[in-house]
Structures are given as structure tokens and as C-alpha cells.
Amino acid sequence: MSSARIQCGSRSIGCCKYIARYSTKSIQLGEHQVHRDLEISDMFPLIALAPRHLEFVLVACYQLLELYGILPGEYNATQLGEHQVPADNGSQIQPPALETTQPTDAQEAKIPAGGDTSGKLHCFYEGCAVTFGRPQERKRHIIGVHLPRRRCALCLHEWCRPDKIKSHIMETHQDELPQEILNEIHAKCGQDLVAFLEHRSVVL
């Protein structure tokens, strides 16, 4: 059993100074099977934290997921505000970048080698032979099958549709978030909500 900790740079009373320990978990990353240590369940209860410290905890959780290849690297210690990870702390996270394949225009218009002239739409990801009658069907297929799934930084629940983020937060984590964030969540949905949470460093 290996272990690691992330330390909050704040010295304020009540701040959660140590965030998580890890136990072995197998994570699928691209074509490679990566075995990492991960256990988010050992985190201190977020509801017990003052709102000003909650954002640090959520960013730290997100960084843990980055470290183990679950989420693409978008955040680093410079975005923690007053909760800077100390420079001499060996656990400062530099997550590996994930490569995602984006289809080109040529791929999108490509018809498989059989010379299909039926007028059906084809998935433009290489090796996928699924066809569709409407563009919206192809879009749903790509989101659900080929694009990376989002994972909640608090409970590791995952989903692919952006509009599912609101119901998940409100049903599962409503008591754990500051009121100002909940107000924004009520006012936004779908991609707008995803962008807001990413901007606030509360990525789920």
C-alpha cells in the first residue's frame, strides 16, 4: 500500500490540511491499462469545511484525478489562490496530458471502403462502422461512445451528456457546495454549467 498527501498552504483554523490517501485501483486510460493508487473516500467530509476552504478541497480532488489519468490536465497549483501547494512539497501534482483524437473534415465526410451510396451518415472515428439516419443520432453516438466521459470529483460517478451534470450535483452534492455556487447551478445547464464549473475550479 502506497500513500501520498496534498497539503493546503493555508494556516487558517479549520482548514483541511491533508486531503486523501490512496489504495490500489485499476484505471483504463486510452489503449493502456494503468494501475494506480486511488481512494477518494478517505477525504475529510466537505460539508464540515468553511466555504472559503471548499474550493481548495475540490481543486485538490480534481488534481488527484488528473494525476491518475482520469481527467485531462487543466489545473495546477497556481490556481489555488491562497491555498498554494508549498514549493517544497513533493506531492505537488503535474498531471500527464491526455491525447484525444479529433476527427478532420475529411474523416467526417469519409465513406467506408465498400463505397456505400445509401445516403446514411457514418461515424467518422476510424474503425467504427456504425451508421445513422440523422446527424443528431451520430452526435449522440460520438458523445456516448468515443468522447471521454466526465467523472465527478467528489464521488467518481461518471456520465457523458453535459446536461446530466446539473441533476447529479443537485441530487447528490447539494449539501456540500456553497450557496453562491448552487445559485449559479440553478441558473445554468448543459455546456454553460460545465464551463462555469471549470472556471470556478469545481469540475465535476
Residue 172: its pLDDT value, please? 79
Q: Does residue 116 lie within any of the structural domains?
A: yes
90 and 30 in a single domain? The answer is: yes
Would 160 be classed as within a structural domain?
A: yes
- Examine residue 12 and state whether it is found in any structural domain, yes or no: no
pLDDT given for residue 97 in this prediction: 44
Residue 114 has which C-alpha cell?
465498400
How high is the pLDDT of residue 78? 40
31/88 same-domain check: yes
- Residue 178, φ and ψ in degrees, nearest 5: -60, 155
Q: What is the pTM of this model?
A: 0.30
> Considering the domain boundaries, does residue 10 fall inside one?
no
Residues 142, 189 within the same domain: no
Run of H or E including 24: strand 24-29
* Per-residue pLDDT, 37: 35
Number of folded domains that form the chain = 2
pLDDT tens, per residue, the chain with 204 residues: 333 333 444 333 333 333 333 333 333 333 333 333 333 334 434 444 445 555 565 666 666 666 655 554 444 444 444 444 444 444 443 434 444 455 554 444 444 444 454 678 889 888 898 999 999 899 888 877 887 777 776 677 777 766 677 777 777 777 777 777 777 777 776 666 666 666 655 544
Residue 147: its pLDDT value, please? 77
Claim to verify: residue 137 and residue 47 sit in the same structural domain: no
Cα separations (Å) of 167 from 1, 95, 113, 196?
36, 29, 42, 15
Name the residue range of residue 128's domain.
105-146
Does 154 share its domain with 84? yes
How many Cβ atoms are within 10 Å of 149's Cβ, its own excluded? 11
> Residues 80, 166: one domain?
yes
Residues 164 and 188 in one domain: yes
92 and 39 housed in the same domain: yes
Residue 88 and residue 122 share a domain: no
Q: Which pLDDT belongs to residue 112? A: 47
79 and 49 together in one domain:
yes
152 and 93 in a single domain? The answer is yes
Say whether both 135 and 64 belong to one domain: no
The answer to whether residue 188 sits within a structural domain is: yes
CA 111 – CA 18 distance, rounded (Å): 54
Q: What pLDDT, on a 0 to 100 scale, did the predictor assign at position 132?
A: 92
Question: Cell numbers 467506408 correspond to what residue?
Answer: 112
